[in-house]
Amino acid sequence: MTDTHSTTRRLGWVVGLTSTAYFMVVLDSVVVITALPRMQRDLHVSLSSLQWTLNAYGIAFAAGIITAAALGDRFGRRKVFTIGLALFTVASVACAVAPSLSLLIAARTAQGLGGAVVLPLSLTILTGAFPMERRGMIVGIYGGLAGLAVAMGPIVGGAVTQGIDWHWIFWINVPIGVVAVLLGVRLLPESYGAPERLDLVGVGLITAGIVALVWALSRASQVGWSSAEVVATLIAGAVLRRRTMLSISVPPRRRRESTTRWLT
């Protein structure tokens, strides 16, 4: 009875901590939207320039997510997860106190990188804590959390901006992040992936492909889908992703040789 109660309590902490971090990261991808007019007034910049507070987060998120998952497999998922959550929390402070647009964009970039670490590893830690037959339910819950966060983001951003100040859409993350990091170090289980060599070239290629695609999607509304910039980055992203997918079944040594020849 005691063992069952202890296991249930442990799983409860795993669900609570990983879900909270996951929800916070997804929420922050859209929470800025309704705060943009107030931010424009305070920072004295154009709305098109402020759009980069969204783009920077999305591009950094896309750039880091594959690498974060690989680093978690190699160095420990709990360890890398808590480092990513700490980075996200510190970056939230930097966003809240940023006196200029350039510093705010830099802080949002760091926040996106922290979010890129949190998202994949939170799901991996959570699913690893449950038996195989219950993992489908867990993935479904995470999908629901993502939808809820996206739906609530603009509402929360508008309410906080109107009721307090736009800086507080970032300050809210800080106490939650600090508590989650401290509890995560103590209560989350540690796990590792397969002991394989980290394919830096492969990770770099797929990351570059994802970033190119996200860049194109971010810029299309401003410069148009038919612009040279968007078309070129879409093609580059598709080629890089295709190249990486084709190399997955190739042995690592031949893959590195082939990639080196292709790059040169």
- Percentage of the chain modeled with pLDDT above 90: 23
DSSP 166: T
pLDDT at residue 70, rounded to an integer? 86
What SS3 state is found at 66?
helix
**Tokens of residue 209, six digits:** 């492909």
The separation between CA 199 and the C-alpha centre of its own chain, rounded to angstroms, equals: 21
pLDDT number for residue 117: 94
Give the pLDDT of residue 5: 64
Q: What is the pLDDT of residues 180-218, one digit of tens each?
A: 999 999 989 898 887 666 666 766 777 777 777 777 776
User: Three-state SS for 130?
Assistant: coil
* Distance of alpha carbon 91 from alpha carbon 57, whole angstroms: 11
Alpha-carbon span 22 to 7, nearest angstrom:
22
| Cα–Cα dist 96/165, whole Å | 10
The end-to-end CA distance of the chain, in Å, is 63
Assess whether pLDDT exceeds 70 at residue 259: no
Please check whether residue 231 is in contact with residue 91, taking contact to mean a CB–CB distance below 8 angstroms.
Answer: no
Q: What percent of the chain has pLDDT over 70?
A: 83
Q: Tell me the H-state helices in 44-172.
A: 47-50, 52-75, 77-97, 101-128, 132-163, 168-171
Q: How far apart are CA 128 and CA 135, in angstroms?
A: 8
Reported pTM: 0.81
Rounded to the nearest 5°, which phi and psi values hold at 115? -65, -35
Compute the chain's Rg from CA coordinates: 20
Return the exposure string of 7-32: e unless at least 16 CB atoms fall within 10 Å of the residue's CB, then b. eeeeeebbeebbbbbbbbbbbbbbbb
For residue range 44-92, list pLDDT tens digits in order.
Answer: 888 878 888 888 888 888 888 888 888 898 899 999 999 999 999 999 9
**2-193 topology per CATH:** Growth Hormone; Chain: A; (1.20.1250)
Question: Among residues 157, 148, 152, which one has the least CA distance to residue 33?
Answer: 157
- Extents of the domains making up the chain: 2-193, 199-264
Give per-residue pLDDT as tens, 228-258.
Answer: 777 888 787 777 766 655 554 444 454 444 3
Q: Which of 16-25, 108-117, 134-143, 220-229 has the lowest mean pLDDT?
A: 220-229
Contacts of 86 (CB under 8 A, 6+ apart): 114, 177, 181
Q: How far apart are CA 111 and CA 118, in angstroms?
A: 11
Contact 27, 179 (CB under 8 A): no
